[in-house]
Structure 1
């Protein structure tokens, strides 16, 4: 059986990409040992690639009250709600690594309410899911509930921005039929 294509759209050759994008992809390959398919799929449109990863990095790599693992929890839970196979698998791997827990990503993806996470993290994910699925219904009571768990106004913004950004990402991954790299499935499990 032949391996499925990583996207229903053509993907460029790394050698043919603008230098800044090629350098970023090769740096990721050197660090992880492979090129995540999202880089190749989005690289077909260099300006959008740059904008996507600039916003991704601004949300996911910034210091703050949300840990990097908690940021990944938001991605995994909301990506599952959006039925995004690529993001659940890829960010599930990152979550397992950042949380140093081989079980957490599967628990969060399947049903975060039953996952072995804190009440604070469950409140965070409740809000993230509301943003992902019914942002029109977000109100002051949601912010008050998060405040009771110690989340600041900036934390609330971060949670909402991550859920919203990955909603876009999930939709593009689904439209492009982006396939998760096989390498993601085992990362952080042992």
Structure 2
């Protein structure tokens, strides 16, 4: 049960973002830029970064939400599952393995990212902007994970919620829906 009163039909981060829309707006904008804006990394690759960080932080809501988004973007379920189990054996490029390793180090402690991690990513073809954005996405999702879990937000009653959420993220992005979220209430 959440530590503060949140809309019961809005589990996880959505309820928190609705609770305080003024603070939600800038982080929604940053998330939209980083995960859906122009980038040499695909949207699926950027969502994998969010998934790895959220899974490593054991944030069940964010891990499920972003894995479902990866699955929808890639049209399959194995990549997100395998990346969560073991980055180094997952079916992603060597460049992505290096970037996901950096993201996982940031998740633990930013100081764990070493010159060797950066050199490995560059040797596998990662650009400076891809490295920058990986670190920033990882840091942002640490914020989200701690926000969601630190407020004890609810998990959805039905795991089908994550498919609906993934569809919204894939097709509408991270901004607040113009009509709000009342349509999600059970009548």
Pick the TM interval, shorter chain: 0.7 to 0.9
Q: What is the aligned-residue RMSD (CA, Å)?
A: 2.2
Greater shift in the superposed pair: 83-92 or 56-65: 56-65
Distance 1:107 1:150 in 2: 22
**2:106 is the alignment partner of 1:131:** yes
Q: Deviations over 1:10-33 (max 9, x none)?
A: 1259xxxxxxxxxxxxxxxxxxxx
1:68 to 13, 34, 43: 43
- Residue aligned with 1:42, SS: helix
Q: Please state how far the C-alpha of 1:37 moved relative to its aligned partner.
A: 4.3
Deviates more, 1:51-60 or 1:175-184: 175-184
- Conserved in 2, the CA contact under 8 Å of 1:93 and 1:184? no
2:134 is equivalent to residue 164 of structure 1:
no
Cα separation, 2, equivalents of 1:115 and 1:140: 23
- The reply to whether residue 8 of structure 1 matches residue 3 of structure 2 is yes
SS in structure 1 of the partner of residue 23 of structure 2 = helix
* SS in structure 1 of the partner of residue 41 of structure 2: coil
CA distance in 2 between partners of 1:140 and 1:119 (Å): 17
The answer to whether structure 1 residue 53 and structure 2 residue 28 are counterparts is: yes
The CA deviation at 1:101 is 1.4
1:183 to 157, 160, 175: 160
Cα deviation, 1:137-175, whole Å, max 9, x if unaligned, reads: 323332221111111111111100000000010001111
Equivalent position of 1:114 in the other structure: 89
- Offset of residue 185 of structure 1: 4.9
Q: 1:184 to 1:150 in 2, by over 3 A?
A: farther
Corresponding residue pairs, total: 163
